[in-house]
Amino acid sequence: TAPVTASAAAVASVPPASAPWVPIPNAEDFFFRQVANFSLLIRALVFREYLDLVHVVSGSVQAAGAGNNYSLLLRAADRTNGAVGRYQTVVWGVPGSRDWTWKVVSFQRVADKN
Ligand SMILES: *[C@@H]1O[C@H](CO)[C@@H](O)[C@H](O)[C@H]1NC(C)=O
Ligand SMILES: *[C@@H]1O[C@H](CO)[C@@H](O)[C@H](O)[C@H]1NC(C)=O
């Protein structure tokens, strides 16, 4: 029965796929601006798209493995022409851990109004 026990333990360590998204009431907090800036930094490094954070509009958080997924709606200014757009990103990370353990799950521009 050892393999059954092992797989049961492995399954127990993975949160359910249906872990709820919990709205962030304080999306303007320093921590969420840091998370947003991390996403923009990766965007610059990988896609050479240079965006400066204007502010975090709203967000929600979901338990995911050892950390959390952060889904953030943000406004950012294109460094080449100053145009401000809205962007939606999902970032995974463990609060308090180093940058290299974080990762951008998704990033996309969204319509200016939604
Ligand atoms: C995020 O980036 C903006 C623009 O690059 C910068 O002004 C701000 O200090 C950064 N905020 C944090 C919390 O890192
Ligand atoms: C949450 O994070 C995990 C781990 O990075 C990722 O595989 C998954 O796609 C994320 N979930 C959502 C809904 O983005």
Is ligand 1 within 6 A of the CB of residue 37? yes
How far is it, in rounded angstroms, from Cα 49 to Cα 40? 8
Residue 1 C-alpha to ligand 2 middle, in angstroms? 31
Residues 37 and 54: beta-carbon distance below 8 Å: no
Which domains does the chain carry? 4-10+21-110 (3.10.450.10)
| Nearest-CA residue for atom 14 of ligand 1 | 34
Residues 79 and 88: beta-carbon distance below 8 Å: no
How far is it, in rounded angstroms, from Cα 87 to Cα 13? 32
Is ligand 2 within 6 A of the CB of residue 91? no
Q: How confident is the model at residue 15 (pLDDT cuts 50, 70, 90)?
A: low
Phi-psi region of 82 (alpha: psi -120 to 50; beta: other; left: phi over 0): left
The stretch 75-90 carries a mean pLDDT of: 97
Return the pLDDT at 91.
96
Q: Which atom of ligand 2 is nearest to the CA of 21?
A: 13
The stretch 80-85 carries a mean pLDDT of: 95
